[in-house]
Amino acid sequence: MERLKCIEIRSRPTEAVRIQRMNSLTLEALRTVRQLGYGGLLPFIALTALSFYSDNSVLQDFAREGLALYAVAILSFVGAVSWGIALADQSLQPDQQRRLFVYSVLPSLVAWLIWFFPEGAMRWVAFAALTFVLYLIDLKHGQQLGWPKGWLSLRLHLSATVGLLLMLAAVGHL
C-alpha cells in the first residue's frame, strides 16, 4: 500500500509542470475553443439585431426574451467552467477548490434573478454588468491559478462583445 502512495504522489505533476500545461493550449484546442466561443456570439448578435430592426412587435418581444434567456444560459456556462476546473485540477489547495465551487454557482443564480427583472433598460444593464464582473473575477482566478493565456484573451473578447450587445439592448429601451 505504501508503494502505491509513492507512485500516486510521483505521478502528480509538480507545480511548475502544472502551470506550464495550464498556460498553453494546443493550437488545435485553441482553434476549437475560439470557433465555439465566437460561434456562441451569433445568437447574441442575431437577437439584438432582431430586437432593434424588426417591424413586428411580436418578433421584437420574442427576440428580447430569447436574448435574456440566452444571457442566463451563457452566464451560467461561465460559472460552470470554474466548477469543472475545481473538479479537474487536483493540484488546487482545498480552500482554492472550495472558492471555485462556491463562485461557480453564483453566476447562474444571479443571472436567473436578473431574468425576473421587469422588461426594460435596467435588466440589460444588470446582465451587462454581470458579464463584466465575471470576466474580472475569471481574470483574477486565471492569473492566480495559471489558466491558459489564450483562454483569458478569448474571455476578454467574448465578454466585451456580449457586454456591449447587452448595453445596446439597454439603449433600445431608453
Show the cell assigned to 68.
435574456
Model pTM above 0.95 = no
- Cα(82)–Cα(50) distance, rounded to whole angstroms? 32
* Residue pLDDT tens, the chain, 174 long: 454 443 343 344 455 555 555 556 788 888 999 999 999 999 999 999 999 888 999 999 999 999 999 999 999 999 999 999 999 998 999 999 999 999 999 999 999 999 999 989 999 999 999 999 999 999 999 999 988 888 899 999 999 999 999 999 999 876
Hey, what amino acid is at 142?
Answer: G
Going from the C-alpha of 15 to that of each of 12, 110, 115, the distances in angstroms are 9, 34, 41
CB 75, CB 134: distance < 8 Å: yes
Task: Answer whether 124's CB lies under 8 Å from 166's CB.
Answer: yes
